Structure formats: structure tokens, C-alpha cells
Amino acid sequence: MTLLTALDGSFGDQPEAVSIAGVATSWADLRAASGRLASAMVGMPAVAVEAEPTLQTVVAVVAGLLAGVPVVPVPPDAGPLEREHILRDSGALPLPAAAGVERALPTPSPEVPALVMYTSGTTGAPKGVVMSGRAIAAGLDGLADAWQWTADDVLVHGLPLFHVHGLVLGVLGALRTGARLVHTGRPTPAGYAAAGGSLYFGVPTVWGRVCADPAAASALTGARLLVSGSAPLPVPVFDELQRLTGHAPVERYGMTETLITLSTRFDGERRPGWVGVPIAGVDTRLVDDHDTVAPHDGETIGELQVQGATMFDRYLNRPEATADSFAGDWFRTGDAAVIDASGFHRIVGRQSMDIIKSGGFKVGAGEVESCLLGHPSVREVAVVGFPDDDLGQRIVAFVVLDGVVGEEVDAALLIDHVATNLSVHKRPRDIHVVAELPRNAMGKVQKHLLR
């Protein structure tokens, strides 16, 4: 098997090669359990994996990769709206009821879709991002090179297993580099402190919480590398983490569609507020509002566009959305950035206010708005991201209620409506009842006025 080198026996074996929430396995046992499940999966169009942070999730994902069956991770807390969309759109079937007898399976072509990961856009339901094994391998090798990530590392994190960060980097990365993996179940400061790793992954919310717990932070002093990504790492958190742990964190940037494309390097400068340089195999450019390439002078802001070996294949069942997301070979990230003369990148913000990053989770305002409009007492709604010290952004909904203006509404009811129909992390943290939404002459809601 070419993608998950550790399962080939390339790095020997060890009893606790992969440990999740205290349950551990060797690579040989993981390979055997996955092989049996893979035998029962062969021929499935796609397999849905309930991505709980457990060893069973890892076995199921590896089984799909061995069988050449695209794996569709389903957030375990996904409510009916989100779950039905993912299952219907992907055509993924549940895991086989029983594992098969292990038999030799041909190694799937690296071009075969390995994962279909759902990601939110500005409007509509999340789109399925189809990713080949080749892109995943290229992305992981680029990061291994940037971070000098090897089989000598012990990787620690507690991130969810239904997104790129926790699953591709945090699980497949360990199985490709041969690093031992300790998944802490949840990304708590105490869990990170107790794990004794060399390489730690976290979203900025996690690093902010580690800084708020100096005892946990000081336990990370012996690590080799602390890596932050999925959302902007605030400069004060960068500085505080460095003060408490002695490590300037490495910041890296990416997207579900492109995998991780930019990073500061183990042996390079780590500049607070900047996300470094392209990994091997990736190119970037900036483009202005007129689709003209903008200078890399450290000041001019443009849309960041990316191309290279880590690129997704397409959005599942969405040829127009796929075409719209590219300018020729260049993927339009929708992020505004500057690049300096040395090639260092700084992410300035999103081009659209309708993409919210909360705790490192991407949430489309439109998706939350549609969900709230499905509640009988909501007539109009606008969802925005407010700055939040812990989460980066917090989801806030402004609602116009059906019925008497000013009537009491139980905000908790509306929050629960989103938490149970979509998923917990997509729930608004605050609900503001208003008499009307600010609109321009065209009738479009002016969200900047709400902020």
C-alpha cells in the first residue's frame, strides 16, 4: 500500500502505534482489522464513516483506503438536515455489518477518490470535496518536509476526525510518516499536557486555551514543534505560547479543497501573523479585483490563488461550482492575502462575510440561515460572525419573528434548532430579535451594519 507507509511494515511495529482516547493498537493489528473490513467493502460506491474520535473510525477509514472505496466522514453530531444531505449527495452506504475474511486486495490507483469531505460555502448545503490519494500523499509529504516530520515523532492532537486537520494531517499523516499517534479524544490543555508528544497540532482556540492554563503549557516545553492552523492564530496567542513553552509555533494555512498549502518551516523563520511559504509542489499568486496578477510586495492585498499537487479533483455532483472555483489552473481560495518579496504569506481575511470560522470550523452563513428559516417562528434571518476571543469568530443570528414584534422568544430554542438539525458547532451562540433587518435599495441585507 503506497499511501499509509506505516502499515506496510516500513517502520517496524510497536504496541501503541495509534492511541485514541486511551485505546491503543499496533500498526499490524490496525492493518489486519482494516484489511478484514476492506474485504467486505470492495465494490461499494462509497462508505459513510461516523467519525467519532475512536479507533474504530481509524479502522474504517483505513479499510476504505485499502479497498479503493471513497470514504465519506460524517460528523457524529450531524443532525437530520446535515446527515441526510451528506448521505444522499454522496451515495455513501453504511459500513458493512461484519468484516470479511482478509484477502489480498490490489493497491488502489493513487488517482482513485480516497475521501469525500463536506465543506460549507457561502450559500446552500455543504459541498463534497473529492480528494485523490495522490493529492493526500503530496500534501503530507510537503508537510513532512516543511516540519522535518519523521517516524521519530510522537504526534499529539484531539481534533475531530471529519475534517482535513484531524483526519488527513492528524491520522493519515501519522500513518504515512510512521510517527506514533496519540489522539486525546478532545483537544483539552490537560490532555495535551499529559500526552508527552514531540509534535502537537491545534486550532487557535486550542492554543488560546493552552495559554490560559500555564501548567499545561509548561508541560509542552519538551516538545519539538507546536503547529497551529485552520484559522488565524492571534499574535498575542503566538507570543504567549512562545513565552510559556519556549516554542514559537509553526503556523500553516490550507483548505479542504487544496489541503495544506502554506507553512512556516521547522528550519525557517516563524513570523507572528504570517503563514509562511508554499510547501513543495504548490504555487501561489495574488489576483486583484480585475483578475490581474498583483505584486508580491508585502502590502498589496489580493485574492490568494493556489495550484499544485495537493489539489482536489472536483466538488461532487457540482460541475458548475467546480468550474467557478478555478481561474484556469488556479484555485480561487476566497481568502485575501499579501505576499512579501521573500515569499512569506499573510492571510488578511475572507473575501466573503458569509464564511464564518468558529473554533476552526468553517460554517456558511447561508446554511445556518436556511436552517433557522425552517423554524416556524422565524420570518427573516441574517447570520454573521462576530469577533470572539476564544473561538476567533462566534456565530450570531439576527432574527425577525413571525407574530408580535417584541414577543418573547426562547433564544435557546432557536440555538437548539440549529444544533440538532445541522450540528452542534454550527449553532449560533447569540440570537438577537430585531423588528427588521437593514436592507439596501435592492432589498439585500446589509450585514456590515449588523456587525
Compare residues 132 and 205 and give the one whose CB is closer to ligand MLC: 205
Q: What are the phi and psi torsion angles at 111 (to 5°)? A: -85, -15
Minimum CB–partner distance for residue 63 and ligand AMP (Å): 24
Compare residues 287 and 433 and give the one whose CB is closer to ligand AMP: 287
Q: Which does 5 bind (CB under 5 to 8 A by kind): ligand MLC, ligand AMP, none?
A: none
User: What is residue 132's DSSP assignment?
Assistant: E
Q: Which does 415 bind (CB under 5 to 8 A by kind): ligand MLC, ligand AMP, none?
A: ligand MLC
Residue 276: beta bridge partners?
Answer: 345
Tell me which residue has its CB nearest to ligand AMP.
Answer: 362
| Residue 161 binding ligand MLC, by CB under 6 A | no
Compare residues 318 and 350 and give the one whose CB is closer to ligand AMP: 350
Count of CB atoms within 10 A of residue 237's CB? 23
| Residue 66 binding ligand MLC, by CB under 6 A | no
CB 47 within 8 A of CB 93: yes
Residue with cell 497551529: 228
Minimum CB–partner distance for residue 65 and ligand MLC (Å): 19
Compare residues 325 and 333 and give the one whose CB is closer to ligand AMP: 333
Count of CB atoms within 10 A of residue 23's CB? 13
| Cell numbers linked to 434 | 430585531
| Cell numbers linked to 443 | 432589498
Q: Which does 396 bind (CB under 5 to 8 A by kind): ligand MLC, ligand AMP, none?
A: none
> What does 63-131 look like in DSSP terms, one character per residue?
HHHHHT--EEEE-TT--HHHHHHHHHHH-PBPPPSS-------PPPPTTSEEEEEEE--SSSSPEEEEE
Compare residues 261 and 322 and give the one whose CB is closer to ligand MLC: 261
What H or E segment, with its residue span, contains residue 180?
A: strand 180-183
Minimum CB–partner distance for residue 392 and ligand AMP (Å): 9
| Residue 164 binding ligand MLC, by CB under 6 A | yes
Distance CA 391, CA 383 (A): 16
Where along the sequence are the contacts to ligand AMP (CB under 6 A)? 119, 164, 229-232, 251, 253-256, 275, 333, 335, 347, 350, 357, 362
- What does the binding site for ligand MLC look like in residue numbers (CB under 6 A)? 159-160, 163-166, 187, 203, 205-206, 229-230, 254-256, 359-361, 415-416, 419, 424-425, 427
